[in-house]
Structure 1
Amino acid sequence: MIEKSRVDRLGSGTATIGLIFNPLSGRIRKRKDAIRRALTEIPGATCREVTNAHEINASVGAFIDAGVDLLVIVGGDGTLQGVLCHLFATQPRSSWPILAVVPGGTTNMTALDLGILGDPESVLQKLRNSLLKQAPPVLRQRHVLCIEQTGVAKIYGMFFGVGLIARAVIFSQSRIKKLGITGEIYAAIITLGYLAGVLLGFRKGSWAPVKMSIIEGNAELHRGAFAFLFASTLDRLLFGMRPYWGQEQEPLHVTFIQQQRKHPLRSLLQLLSGHGDALKEKNGYYSRNTQALELLVDDVYVVDGESYRAAGGDGPLRITAAGPVSFLAPEGVKEKL
């Protein structure tokens, strides 16, 4: 719960502001000097540059100690994930500042879901205008994924993927990212690559299935080989997609697809175009909303583009919804419907 005093100071123009800037983020690398100049125009702000987890933790800690009211993350989904992990691990929710996101990464799914579009400089200009306007701030609430397994520190983020999704992200980071491609073009290349693999009948490498058991409420829902599973607390993903169709009133959206499913190409197009509700469980397509989910799996997975490994011998991988967290919507940003 955000303290009302922080909201009041933000609306009156007296808020203290911390900026976390990752100059190595995908959309920032080639324009970091221009973005640094834009950062200096944020009124009353202190900026700290970060390039790794240690620097993120130290910077977040310093801003918390300073009592900042607004913490602006200028970077990608991975930078935001690092901030969230440190805040959840070290701070009670009552001491959190309000968060703001400036999309500077490769995919920027959280910013897109919040309706924050444009290059980093234009978003910073909107943020500056909002702060100078001295009006009640517009806040958006989003839950956050919490991923935990025995013997491993909790991981927090907005998007979880295992199976083909994880393999494709890991592959693309080693190949496509080196070309300097970011944003929706980057995501489109990955998507088209998967479509090509489906058409060609690939079942190995990046197209290899993941074997796992899916558990909810101590009951095993499914067991077998799956093409992929993803979970997110975001309402929409890249390209404005909403690839889930569960009807439950819960914050954690989960979609998973069996390896042996019917009509793979047609169904994938329905999934990507937001018509997943036409897909049937009997054909291998599943989607539901929940508060918690457990996976018995021994494979790699990704959270906001960062890769990890689930060890089957350490028990189930548990995914729950934490939060919600308050994000500032700069001037001119509208909630997506």
Structure 2
Amino acid sequence: MIEQFRIDRLRTGSATVGFLFNPLSGRIRKRRDAIRREMGGIHDAVCRDATSGPEIRASVDAFVEADTDLLVIVGGDGTVQAVLNHLFTIQPPAKWPILSVIPGGTTNMTALDLGIHGRPEDNLRKLSKCLLNRNLPPLLQRHVLCIEQAGTAKVYGMFFGIGLIARAVIFSQGRIKQLGVTGEIYSAIIMLGYLAGALIGRRQGPWAPVQLAVIEQNIELHRGTYTFLFASTLDRLLFGMRPYWGQEQEPLHVTFVRQQRKRPLRSLLQLLSGHGSALKEQNGYFSSNTSVLELMIDDDYIVDGESYRAASQGGPLRISAAGPISFLVANSANANL
């Protein structure tokens, strides 16, 4: 829970505002001047440019040291993930600044899940109006994934993926990104290409499946060869998709698909269109909500577009829900804090 004094400062117009700005984020590169103009229009706000992990950590430290009340992250999912990762490392969420996100990355699933869409400069204009008029929106809460394994530092984020999903994201970070296509369209092109390869039977290289065991409450529930597995605390993913259908009242949504499965094309369309509840576990499809998930795996995985490596010699990779944390969303300016 955010400390009440920060909310009170926002109400009275005395809050300090900081912008963590990643000018290299996918949708920002061609709009930097317009975005900087909008940020400069917020009175006494401090803006810090940060394009790398060390720069983001240093900027977050500076904002925390200055007791910033509202920290606005202007960037994509990777920038948001880096900020969350460092904040969890240095202090408990109750001590954090209030967070807000201005989507400007290649993918912006966290912002879109919060209902923030449109051009970065337009969203900044809405935020500026809210702060000026003190007509402040509600705080929306989301849990955050905590991924940990013995011998490695904890990783925090909103979306975890392995198998085909991880391989597609890692590939997208290479040569294809140089084409200059960004946003959900860019992500869709890459993912659809990988899915098409899997559907026609490719199983080597970038299309290689992943070997893993799924453990819950110290019980191995699943083991085998999987096309992909993902876990998220977000209610919606790219294009508004909600490809999970568990009924449990837990914050962590998990879906995975076995390599050997029936009716792959028809089932894939059902999964992507939000009709996954019709898919059967005996046919290779599974989804549930949980608070903790453990995986025995030796492979690459991604968290909000950033890649990591899991090794079973370190024991299970543990994924749990941390938080919830609060986000200020200017698009919801029809209610007060």
Q: Is the 8 A contact 2:262 2:284 kept in 1?
A: yes
Which secondary structure does the structure 2 equivalent of 1:243 belong to?
Answer: coil
Q: CA deviation at 1:175?
A: 2.8
Q: Is the 8 A contact 1:43 1:131 kept in 2?
A: no
Q: Specify the alignment match of 1:206 in structure 2.
A: 206
1:275-301 CA distances to partner (integer Å, 9 max, x unpaired)?
Answer: 111110010000000000000000000
Q: Specify the alignment match of 2:11 in structure 1.
A: 11
Q: Is the 8 A contact 1:139 1:326 kept in 2?
A: yes
Q: Is the 8 A contact 1:7 1:136 kept in 2?
A: no
In the alignment, the residues of structure 2 paired with residue 7 and residue 334 of structure 1 have an alpha-carbon distance, to the nearest angstrom, of 17
1:203-246 CA distances to partner (integer Å, 9 max, x unpaired)?
Answer: 11222100000000100010010000000000000000000000
Q: Is the 8 A contact 1:43 1:128 kept in 2?
A: no
- After the TM superposition, list the runs of 4 or more consecutive aligned residues in structure 1 that deviate by more than 6 angstroms: none
Q: Specify the alignment match of 1:170 in structure 2.
A: 170
Q: Specify the alignment match of 1:111 in structure 2.
A: 111
Q: CA deviation at 1:316?
A: 0.6
Q: CA deviation at 1:90?
A: 0.5
Q: CA deviation at 1:44?
A: 2.6
Which secondary structure does the structure 2 equivalent of 1:30 belong to?
Answer: coil
In the alignment, the residues of structure 2 paired with residue 156 and residue 65 of structure 1 have an alpha-carbon distance, to the nearest angstrom, of 22
Q: CA deviation at 1:41?
A: 1.1
Alignment gaps of 5+ in structure 2: none
Name the aligned partner's letter for residue 226 of structure 1: Y
What does 1:164-243 align with in structure 2 at a 5 Å threshold? Answer: 164-243=164-243
1:44-88 CA distances to partner (integer Å, 9 max, x unpaired)?
Answer: 310000011111111111111111110000001011111101100
Q: Specify the alignment match of 1:22 in structure 2.
A: 22
Q: Is the 8 A contact 1:17 1:46 kept in 2?
A: yes
TM-score (norm 2): 0.97
Name the aligned partner's letter for residue 124 of structure 1: L
In the alignment, the residues of structure 1 paired with residue 333 and residue 14 of structure 2 have an alpha-carbon distance, to the nearest angstrom, of 22
Name the aligned partner's letter for residue 218 of structure 1: N
Q: CA deviation at 1:92?
A: 1.9
Q: Specify the alignment match of 1:300 in structure 2.
A: 300
Which secondary structure does the structure 1 equivalent of 2:31 belong to?
Answer: helix
Q: Is the 8 A contact 2:116 2:331 kept in 1?
A: no
Q: Is the 8 A contact 1:142 1:326 kept in 2?
A: yes
Q: Specify the alignment match of 1:314 in structure 2.
A: 314
Q: Specify the alignment match of 1:285 in structure 2.
A: 285
Larger CA deviation: 27-36 vs 242-251: 27-36
Q: Specify the alignment match of 1:71 in structure 2.
A: 71
Q: Specify the alignment match of 2:270 in structure 1.
A: 270
Q: Specify the alignment match of 1:44 in structure 2.
A: 44
In the alignment, the residues of structure 2 paired with residue 160 and residue 252 of structure 1 have an alpha-carbon distance, to the nearest angstrom, of 11
Q: CA deviation at 1:332?
A: 4.5
Q: Is the 8 A contact 2:21 2:75 kept in 1?
A: yes
Q: Is the 8 A contact 1:70 1:98 kept in 2?
A: yes
Q: CA deviation at 1:333?
A: 6.3
The number of residues matched between the two structures is 335
Q: CA deviation at 1:23?
A: 0.6
Q: Specify the alignment match of 2:150 in structure 1.
A: 150
Q: CA deviation at 1:132?
A: 1.1
Q: CA deviation at 1:334?
A: 8.4
Is 1:82 the counterpart of 2:77? The answer is no
Name the aligned partner's letter for residue 73 of structure 1: I
Q: CA deviation at 1:272?
A: 0.7
Larger CA deviation: 146-155 vs 131-140: 131-140
Q: Is the 8 A contact 1:115 1:333 kept in 2?
A: no
TM-score (norm 1): 0.97
1:116-135 CA distances to partner (integer Å, 9 max, x unpaired)?
Answer: 01011111011111111212
Which secondary structure does the structure 1 equivalent of 2:117 belong to?
Answer: coil
